[in-house]
Structures are given as structure tokens and as C-alpha cells.
Chain A
Amino acid sequence: MSERHEIIPVWFFVGVLLLVYGVMILISGLAEWSHPPDTVLAELHAPVWWGGILTVLGATYCAMFRPRKT
């Protein structure tokens, strides 16, 4: 974003947020794999694939927009 030289791009913070949430949700989904919560369509294990998607997206954003030394 803000192409103001020194500012860390907002996309990097978005990446951090998605990465941390992705890892937390993924781990939570794996931990409950054998005893899924009492929700509709729990057998689809949404936390695992949704957490995986967030993790990949977050890692990609972090890598693409990481602060670089000038």
C-alpha cells in the first residue's frame, strides 16, 4: 500500500493476521478430527481446509510484502 517509503505495507499485516489465524484454526481442526464439534456438516472438517487456505494465503502475503531493508 502506502508507497510511502518506510511504511510496512498493510498487505503484510493482512498476511500476518491470516497466517496466525490459519495456523490456529488448522491445528484446532486437526485436534478435533476424531471428535468433531456438534455442528452441521462437521464431517467435512471445514476448519482443516479453511485453516489451510488461510495459512497458504497468509504465508504468501507475508512473503510478498515483507519489509525489506533499503
Chain B
Amino acid sequence: MSLTLAMFEATRLVHLSGVDLAIIAFYFGLVLVIGFYLKRFANTGEDFFLAGREMTAWVAGLAFVSANLGSLELLGWAGSAYQYGIMAAHWYWIGAIPAMVFLGLVMMPFYYISKTHSVPGYLKLRYGSEASGLSAVTFAVMTILMSGVNMYAMAVVMKVVLGWDINFSIWVSSLTVGIYVAAGGLFSAIFNEVLQFFLIWFGALLIPILGLIETGGWSGMVARIHQNFPGQDFTHLWAPTASFANNPMGINWIGIVFGLGAVQSMGYWTTDFLVVQRVLSAKDIRSAKMAPIIGSYFKMAVPLIVILPGLLGLAVLPMHLFPASGLQPGQHSYNEVLPLMLARYCGPGLLGLGITALVAGFMAGMAGNVSAFATVWTYDIYRPFIRKNAPDKHYVSMGRWCTLIGLIISIGTAYLVMGFASIMDYVQALFGFFIAPLFGTVLLGMLWKRVTRWGGFLGLLAGTLSSVTMFLLMQKVDPQKWVPIFARSPLAKGLAQDMYQSLWACVTCVVVTVLVTLVTKPKPDSELVGLVYSLTPLAKEEHTSFWHRPLVWGVMALVLLAVLQIIFW
């Protein structure tokens, strides 16, 4: 989610009481205690990097969905709901659920059976070190830069919402995360993500409950929105997407279905190692398949605490909110809608709980980034390219140091962003360049045994370069000329441009992969067992009871998704 430095204006939104501060302090104390407690269990590489592969489906599923439920996402999407209405829920529904079910039912067996530690690790087995190296280096660099960008953005949020000093926020949160992740590895990160999940739900759920009581239910809320914003449609999901001009995003249904649903979300949820790593920690293949499917049900419910508060903000806030750029003194930006709603309904105690949820989301996101970075650096860069065949203890030690070094680089990035604000937008954009083509590369590799080593590498490279080129053309060179060409409408806003950019990058990756594959020599079948669909004996589920089958729950998630689309059509 793109947030700019100007997202919050320089006023303090809420004031904390003693009980609020006690609630925040208790959270910091508890995560440190848990980190030190878990240190004794993180002795081997498998323990430190994959939490011993002993997580149940529920724990892995909650951590999977929590890894994406960071504070900036919550604040940003609540702001998007205020700006675009319920259409922002597309990113939680069609932009997440089909991909999660697909990951669980189709892709997870290959990740799990191959016993890889990471997504680049799978690429190494399937294609070779070229595609794996490209993916590992880009992921490691971008993850750590993103961590720094998020760190700074959150420190700005804390300064504006609470009046906290930026340096204090950066150092206290970084040191806490560094200590508990370096101690317990992925164990600590996952424990913290599960805590964060409960905190976010219990911290934010009161807003929609009290908001709907205030407005007299859904219909009362819709009536108030129409009264406050006459002539605008904020409460329909698909109806405004019949044409580009009918909605403030400047997108039509094709962009949402194919750009967001089929490429962007598939790329993120199935190949971004930050989230996939959580599922790889599952104790067996059934748990690994169930984890993302369990996560999909919770993901489907997240609009309740993110999108609905944004809509309620349209209905009940006495003032109108504005884009972050060009705010006048006394005005608030879209991204402030969640803290404003929190301050509207929550007094001492509840306010502390809500703020702790935001802090926890921020710290869990940072922990997720550094734990994923440590794994990819150690297993996909350090081990294959720098020091092969070292003892397992050496790699665990490297993982611990990487966690701390990663955090120091993140802190450096945060201070760099403080000095050069535009870096932030570039870093966030860069991260998106790799995800869509990576999905094409991984999926083709899993489903088509003919794809060759060079087909995979050059396809990934071409897809990434095409994404960078489209970004530069649309953002920097000549937006008026290139936006209508790539995003299919001059009305396309940033989110719509992202969707089409992802779609064309993935198409480029697939086309180049296929063309190169047809003129290069494939790997022998014997080297692809466990990596490609047609050559992998998949576990049958006939001995599992009907209600324990991942397929059943996956199909039910899709049916529920369809029902939600119809209700809010």
C-alpha cells in the first residue's frame, strides 16, 4: 500500500492516559519475555528459519494472514475505503481469496514436498541458480528497504497520532524486534503475529460495532453517506466498474478481475516469501494446504475492521477528509480516518488497546521482513554463492546476525528516507516490479515440465524489466501518452495503473518464457520429480474425513466469496 510522507499532517490526534501507556508497555514486555523463552527452542536451521516445521494449520494460517495485516495496511486501506468506498474491499476479497485457495490447493504441495526453505529455493531446484539468484537478491534487497520505509512511515504515524519522537519510535521498536527475532527466529515472529492478530481484532472491532449503533445499522449508514456526499456511490462493489468513468479509481471490471484477481494477488499471495514462509512452517502437508485456506476466511472478514470504519467515517465524521498532498492547516487526510474513528469512540483503556494493535502490527510487519530476509540471505545467497557445506550451527548463527544486520540496514533506510522523501515512493513501487513476473515463472515451472532453465530466468528478467519500463513511462516520461495505452484509460488512477502494469508484466514473462523454452533444451524428467505437477505423486485425501479435506474448505471459501460479491454488488 503506498503511503507518502505527507500522509499525516502535523497535529496530534489522540492523548493517552496512564492505563493506555500501561497497556502498551505490557505488550513490549510480553513479546520480549516470549522471545527469550523461545530462544532455547531455536537451535537448528529448521527451527530458526522454519519454526521447526511444527506449526499447526491454525497457527500457520493466522500467521500467514497476519503477516499481511500490518498497521500501514490497516491505516491505508481504511483511508482507501473513505476515498473509493467499498470498492477498496476488492483487495481483501477477489484480490486475495482465490489466490489463497489456489496457494493451498495447487501450489503448496510443491513448495512443501520439495522441502525448500524459500521461494527462491524452489526456483533453484526447478530452474537453477540464475533465476533463483535474481529472485533472492531482489527479494532480500527490497524486503530490507521496505522494512526501513515502513519503519519510518510508522514513526511518522506515531509522531502525529501520539506525539512520540520519531527517533524514539524507530529505535525502541527496532531494538525490541531485533532482540526477539534474533533470539527465537521464525518461532518468535510467528508467536508475535498470532498475538498481533488477536490485538488487531479486539482493538479495532469496537469501531464498526459502535459505528453501526450510532448510524442505526447498514441502511442508516448508507443514508448518511448519501446525505453527506450526494450523487456519489460508495457502497457498491461491482456496479460502478461497468466503465472507467463510473468510479473514482478509474478502472473497469476487466482490470479488477484479471489485473488484480488473476495476476497481482496471485503473485503476492503465492510467491512473496514473506507470507509463504509462514505456511512452510506447517507440520505436515495437510496443515500446509489448510493454513492458507483457514487464513482466507479471516482475510474475508478483515473488511469489517478496515473497510467498514472507512465507510462509517464517510457517514459520521463532522469534517471531510482530503488527499495527503496539498492539505491545508486543520484538515485531515484520508489515511487518518482510522485513528479519528478510534478517538471518536474509544476512551482510556480502549484507546490504549487500539494503539497497541497498531504498534503490534507495525512490529510484527518488521519482524516478518527481517525473518524472511535472514532466511533468503542465509539459504539462497550465502550458502549457494559464498559458503557451501558449513555446519548447520554456522547457518543459524548467520541467521541471527542477519536479523540484527537487516534491522540496522532498515534503520539506515529509515533515516535515508527522512532526508530524501521521494525514495519512499520508489522503494514501494520497486517491490511491485518483481512479484507479478515471479508468479508467471513459478506457476509455469510447477505446471509445465518442458520449461527450461533459461526460459525461466529470461522470462523472469523480461517480465521485471517490462514492469520497470511501464512504471517509468507512466509515471515519469509522459503520463498523458502512456497511461491510456497501458492502463487502457486516461482516467486510470495509481491503483488501476498498478493492476494493468502487473497484468502486462506477467504476460511478458509468460510469453518470453514459452518462446525461450521452445528453443532451449529441457531438464530430464528425473530432475523434476517433486517439482512439477505431472511428475509428482500428490498425497491422496481419501482417508481424510469429508470435513477435514482442504478441497472442501477451499470450495466453501470461494462460495462465500461469491455470496459476498452478490450481496454488495
B130 part of interface (Cβ distance < 8 Å): no
Q: Is the CB of B210 within 8 A of A44?
A: yes
Binary interface profile of A, 27-70, with partner B (CB < 8 Å = 1, else 0)?
01100100011111110101100110010000000000000000
B55 part of interface (Cβ distance < 8 Å): yes
Which one of A6, A24, A38 has the highest number of Cβ atoms from chain B below 10 Å of its Cβ? A24
9 cross-chain CB contacts under 8 A = A1-B59, A2-B55, A14-B198, A25-B350, A39-B344, A46-B345, A46-B346, A47-B348, A54-B202
Q: Which of A6, A21, A32, A54 contacts B347 (CB 8 A)?
A: A32
Q: Which of B18-26, B83-91, B541-549 contacts A (4 or more CB under 8 A)?
A: B18-26
Q: Is the CB of A4 within 8 A of B41?
A: yes
Q: Which of B30, B58, B59, B206 contacts A50 (CB 8 A)?
A: B206
B177 part of interface (Cβ distance < 8 Å): no
Question: What secondary structure prevails in chain B residues at the interface with A?
Answer: helix
7 additional A-B pairs beyond A2-B56, A10-B190, A44-B210, beta carbons within 8 Å, are: A4-B52, A7-B38, A13-B34, A13-B195, A40-B214, A46-B346, A46-B350
Distance A46 CA – B349 CA, assembled complex (angstroms): 10
Question: What B residues does A32 contact at CB under 8 A?
Answer: 347-348
Q: Is the CB of B353 within 8 A of A41?
A: no
CB distance from A2 to the nearest CB of B (A): 5
Q: Which of B22, B37, B199, B345 contacts A41 (CB 8 A)?
A: B345
Q: Give the 5 A-B residue pairs with the shortest CB-CB distance, closest first.
A: A37-B347, A28-B349, A25-B349, A1-B59, A28-B19
B485 part of interface (Cβ distance < 8 Å): no
CB distance from B278 to the nearest CB of A (A): 13
Q: Is the CB of A4 within 8 A of B353?
A: no
Q: Is the CB of A47 within 8 A of B349?
A: yes
Q: Which of A17, A20, A29 contacts B199 (CB 8 A)?
A: A17
CB distance from A31 to the nearest CB of B (A): 9
Distance A41 CA – B35 CA, assembled complex (angstroms): 39
* Chain A residue with the shortest CB-CB distance to B194: A10
Residues of B within 8 A of A (CB): 19, 22-23, 26-27, 30, 34, 37-38, 41, 51-52, 54-56, 58-59, 187, 190-191, 194-195, 198-199, 202, 206, 210, 213-214, 283, 316, 343-350, 353
- A-side interface size class: 20 to 34
Q: Is the CB of B345 within 8 A of A4?
A: no
Q: Is the CB of B348 within 8 A of A28?
A: yes
* Chain A residue with the shortest CB-CB distance to B193: A10
Distance A39 CA – B462 CA, assembled complex (angstroms): 55
Question: What B residues does A39 contact at CB under 8 A?
Answer: 343-347
CB distance from B129 to the nearest CB of A (A): 33
Q: Is the CB of B345 within 8 A of A14?
A: no
Question: What B residues does A29 contact at CB under 8 A?
Answer: 349
Question: What B residues does A24 contact at CB under 8 A?
Answer: 19, 22-23, 349
Q: Is the CB of A51 within 8 A of B349?
A: yes
Question: What A residues does B194 contact at CB under 8 A?
Answer: 1, 10, 14
CB distance from A44 to the nearest CB of B (A): 7
Distance A20 CA – B352 CA, assembled complex (angstroms): 13
* Chain B residue with the shortest CB-CB distance to A51: B349
Distance A32 CA – B30 CA, assembled complex (angstroms): 27
Q: Which of B23, B206, B346 contacts A21 (CB 8 A)?
A: B23
Question: What B residues does A41 contact at CB under 8 A?
Answer: 210, 213-214, 345
Known: A36-B347, A46-B350. A18 touches B214 (CB 8 A): no
CB distance from A39 to the nearest CB of B (A): 5
* Chain B residue with the shortest CB-CB distance to A47: B349
Distance A28 CA – B214 CA, assembled complex (angstroms): 23
Distance A7 CA – B51 CA, assembled complex (angstroms): 12
* Chain A residue with the shortest CB-CB distance to B348: A28
* Chain A residue with the shortest CB-CB distance to B41: A7
Known: A39-B344, A39-B347, A47-B350. A2 touches B19 (CB 8 A): no
Distance A39 CA – B139 CA, assembled complex (angstroms): 45
* Chain B residue with the shortest CB-CB distance to A48: B349
Distance A21 CA – B353 CA, assembled complex (angstroms): 8
CB distance from B224 to the nearest CB of A (A): 14
CB distance from A45 to the nearest CB of B (A): 10
